[in-house]
């Protein structure tokens, strides 16, 4: 009997795609999610650290801009490196290395004795953060099922919400502890090593994904064994499959993949320009809003916004993304962000009314999370073929981190020159661009198998494969 490569691949992966949520899904979620907890903790805490270091090390505005953005600039590089590596040598071979970088960078940062040392160690942290995006996103996607893939990948990213909450809580606790300032900032940075270190061993032990074993290695037997082990369903398939093109140029020579890459990369960049500028510089936003407020008070205000707006937003997105779709959530989120920022811009007097400003600011945060901050992570884990999935995700994430780095670098200067209302006007324009791009370019992967959502069939050789007697069953 003759069966095409595509048919064999679909048959091998069908039990995984149709399986209900099982324990291995949640183990993978926890293993992957702790990296994003660390990322978010670090995202918030560096803004407090630089505020503390400014008088201690006599930092200039340029120094603050560099410290706030260094890890984000190196994350651009980390996403590209790990995205390409995971396609070339496998998911299993490199998973966990990014967590080692995160752990080492956080610990070394805590022992920095001068500005240059801290910049170097923050660069190491950024490499780990950048690498974590394609690694964890793709691995979770390739272990997921068809109906709940969006939930599982979104849930990995939603761990960022807890990091955003824990960051200011830890900062407020340490700031009120009476501990010396020179010790406080070191403890803040060093604590970031704990969650990443906790999952290094789990990540190094994770099995290769069946999608990679089948799609990149062309190993039907290995993939079937992994699927059987995960789902406890018998998978009996004999045969061979044609090799898929592995060159990175696939993303740039196929019109569909190139257009999709344009959409995932630039929508992520627009999102991160708004999100990271606000989050890393949240202490500056609070200071611009309440010039006479204390650092502890500003930190607790940020924590309250994260608690009532950001954290729920992540999980509302996770529980609805498979029902209402990635594209709708992302477009809606960008549009509400644009309206919220435009309100703060066009009614500059609102910044003198703290309660009103914070309500609108919190609404923007909710729809960042129940919106593009979640879906820009989900999209690239689904819409690229397995042979270049890491690369496509890596390019998208690096574009996002580049936008984040630029925004974080410029945000203190924008607040100084354009004030709070003018800065919000720029964020409104960026968010509107994200809405337009999402609407015009991105596909909807909801409800499709990973092979269908990625357009992997476009890479398959039309030639059928000879199969020495193929049987398939799942019990």
H or E stretch including 133?
A: helix 115-143
Provide the CA 132 distance to its chain's centre, in angstroms: 8
- pLDDT attached to residue 161: 85
The full length of the chain comes to 475
pTM exceeding 0.75: yes
Provide the CA 396 distance to its chain's centre, in angstroms: 10
- 342: its two tokens: 């435009």
What residue ranges do the domains of the chain occupy? 20-206+244-462
Residue 173 Cα distances to 45, 290, 292, 308, 413, angstroms: 13, 21, 21, 19, 29
Residue 87 Cα distances to 98, 256, 393, angstroms: 15, 20, 11
- pLDDT attached to residue 397: 96
Give the integer Cα–Cα distance in Å for 134 and 36: 12
DSSP 3-state of 465: strand
- pLDDT attached to residue 423: 83
Give the integer Cα–Cα distance in Å for 404 and 75: 10
Q: What are phi and psi of 4, to 5 degrees?
A: -75, 160
- pLDDT attached to residue 340: 87
> What does CATH list as the number for 20-206+244-462?
1.20.1250.20
Provide the CA 263 distance to its chain's centre, in angstroms: 16
Q: What is the DSSP annotation of 35-90?
A: HHHHHHHHHHHHHHHHHHHHHHHT--HHHHHHHHHHHHHHHHHHHHHHHHHHHHT-
- 444: its two tokens: 């909807």
Split the chain (475 residues) into runs of 10 and give each run's mean pLDDT: 66 92 92 89 82 92 87 93 96 95 95 95 95 96 96 95 84 88 94 90 92 92 92 82 83 92 97 74 59 71 81 95 97 94 81 73 88 97 96 97 85 77 88 96 95 87 40 40
- pLDDT attached to residue 261: 97
Give the integer Cα–Cα distance in Å for 238 and 140: 27
Residue 40 Cα distances to 45, 310, 469, angstroms: 9, 12, 51
**Residues 163, 44 contacting (CB under 8 angstroms):** yes
Radius of gyration of the chain from its Cα atoms, rounded to whole angstroms: 23
Provide the CA 115 distance to its chain's centre, in angstroms: 28
- pLDDT attached to residue 263: 97
């Amino acid at each position: 009997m003759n069966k095409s490569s595509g048919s064999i691949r679909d048959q091998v992966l069908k039990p995984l795609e149709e399986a209900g949520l099982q324990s291995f899904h949640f183990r993978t979620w926890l293993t992957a999610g702790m990296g994003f907890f660390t990322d978010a903790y670090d995202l918030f805490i560096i803004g407090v650290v630089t505020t503390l270091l400014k008088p201690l090390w006599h930092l200039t505005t340029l120094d603050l801009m560099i410290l706030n953005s260094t890890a984000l600039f190196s994350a651009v590089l980390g996403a590209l490196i790990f995205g390409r590596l995971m396609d070339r040598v496998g998911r299993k071979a490199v998973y966990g290395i990014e967590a080692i970088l995160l752990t080492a960078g956080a610990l070394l940062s805590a022992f920095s004795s001068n500005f240059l040392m801290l910049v170097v160690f923050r660069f190491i942290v950024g490499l780990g953060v950048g690498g974590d995006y394609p690694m964890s996103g793709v691995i979770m996607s390739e272990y997921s099922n068809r109906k709940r893939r969006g939930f599982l990948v979104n849930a990995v990213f939603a761990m960022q919400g807890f990091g955003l909450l824990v960051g200011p809580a830890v900062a407020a606790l340490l700031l009120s502890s009476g501990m010396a300032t020179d010790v406080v900032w070191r403890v803040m940075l060093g604590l970031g090593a704990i969650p990443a270190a906790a999952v290094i061993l789990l990540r190094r032990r994770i099995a290769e994904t069946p999608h990679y074993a089948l799609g990149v290695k062309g190993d039907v037997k290995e993939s079937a064994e992994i699927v059987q082990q995960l789902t406890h369903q018998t998978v009996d398939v004999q045969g061979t499959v044609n090799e898929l093109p592995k060159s990175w140029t696939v993303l740039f020579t196929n019109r569909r993949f190139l257009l999709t890459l344009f959409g995932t990369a630039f929508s992520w960049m627009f999102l991160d320009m708004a999100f990271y500028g606000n989050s890393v510089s949240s202490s500056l936003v609070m200071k611009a809003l309440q010039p006479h407020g204390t650092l502890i008070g500003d930190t607790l205000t940020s924590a309250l916004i994260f608690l009532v707006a950001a954290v729920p937003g992540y999980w509302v997105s996770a529980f609805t993304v498979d029902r209402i779709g990635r594209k709708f959530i992302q477009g809606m989120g960008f549009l509400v962000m644009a309206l919220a920022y435009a309100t703060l811009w066009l009614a500059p007097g609102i910044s003198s009314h703290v309660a009103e400003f914070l309500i609108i600011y919190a609404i923007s945060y909710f729809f960042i999370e129940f919106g593009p901050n979640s879906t820009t992570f989900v999209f690239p884990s689904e819409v690229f073929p397995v042979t270049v999935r890491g690369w496509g995700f890596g390019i998208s994430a690096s574009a996002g981190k580049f936008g984040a780095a630029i925004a974080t670098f410029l945000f203190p200067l924008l607040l100084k020159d354009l004030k709070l209302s003018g800065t919000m006007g720029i964020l409104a324009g960026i968010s509107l661009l994200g809405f337009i791009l999402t609407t015009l370019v991105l596909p909807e992967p909801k409800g499709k198998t990973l092979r269908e959502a990625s357009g992997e069939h476009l890479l398959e050789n039309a030639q059928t494969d000879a199969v020495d007697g193929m049987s398939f069953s799942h019990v």
